[in-house]
Amino acid sequence: LERARDSLKSVLAELDEIRDAVWKMGTGDGKSVDATLALLARRMLIVWKTLRDMKEPCGAALEAAGLLASASGDAAATADAAATIMDAGLFKEALVLFFDVLRRGDPYASDSLNARFWNRAGICSGYLKRPKTAAGFYEKATALSPDDSIYRANLAHTLTSIGEHKAALPHIRRAI
C-alpha cells in the first residue's frame, strides 16, 4: 500500500509538470515548442512507466507520449518512446516511431545506434507478421554493424522463416 501511495504521488507530480509545460507553451514564455514537446513526451513516459508498475492499463498515455515525441522532432525522445512502446507490445505504433527516427537521419547518431533502431524495426515487423519487411530492416542493421551477432541471427532466422535458406547460411555462420 505504501509503494502504491508513493507511485501515485510520483504520477501526480509528473502530471503537474505536464500541465505546467502545456500552460507555458500556450503563454509563450520563450521556450521553443519542440523542446516543450520533447519534455512532455519524456514526462508522459515516466507517468506511463509508473502506472505500468502499478499494473494499470495505460496504452493511451503511452501512445500520446510517442506522438508528442515525434512531433517534437527530438530523435532521442522519439527513440525512447518507441523502445518503451515496443516493450509494451504495441509493435505497430513502435514501428512508426522507429521509422520516423530513421527517416529523419539524426546526424549525431552513430552507425551502431542506427543499427539498433533498424534491428528494433525488424523485431516489430516480425511481430506484425511481415517477415520480408523485417528481413530488409535486419539487412540494414547488419550493414551498419556487420559484427553484431544478434542482428545476424535475427536476419538468419527471418530469412529461414520465409524459405530463403541459402541466403541465411552466411549470416548463421557469422552469427556463430
CA distance 40 to 175: 40
Name the pLDDT band for 79 (thresholds 50, 70, 90): confident
What pLDDT score was predicted for residue 80? Answer: 79
What pLDDT score was predicted for residue 19? Answer: 60
CA distance 56 to 9: 15
User: Could you count the other beta carbons within 10 Å of the beta carbon of residue 85?
Assistant: 27
CA distance 28 to 30: 5
Residue 155 has pLDDT above 70, yes or no: yes
Alpha helices, DSSP H only, in 28-110? 33-53, 59-72, 75-87, 91-104
What pLDDT score was predicted for residue 133? Answer: 94
Q: Which of 5-14, 62-71, 155-164 has the highest mean pLDDT?
A: 155-164
- Count Cα atoms within 13 angstroms, Cβ side, for 27: 7
pTM above 0.95, yes or no: no
Handedness of CA 135, 127, 63, 112 (dihedral sign): negative
What pLDDT score was predicted for residue 123? Answer: 95
| pLDDT, tens only, 102-132 | 877 765 567 777 888 899 999 999 999 999 9
Handedness of CA 53, 54, 60, 61 (dihedral sign): negative
Exposure string over 139-167, b if 16+ CB within 10 A, otherwise e: bbbbebbeebeebbbbbbbbbbeeebeee
Name the pLDDT band for 20 (thresholds 50, 70, 90): low
What pLDDT score was predicted for residue 143? Answer: 93
| pLDDT, tens only, 32-68 | 666 666 666 676 666 666 665 655 545 555 666 666 6
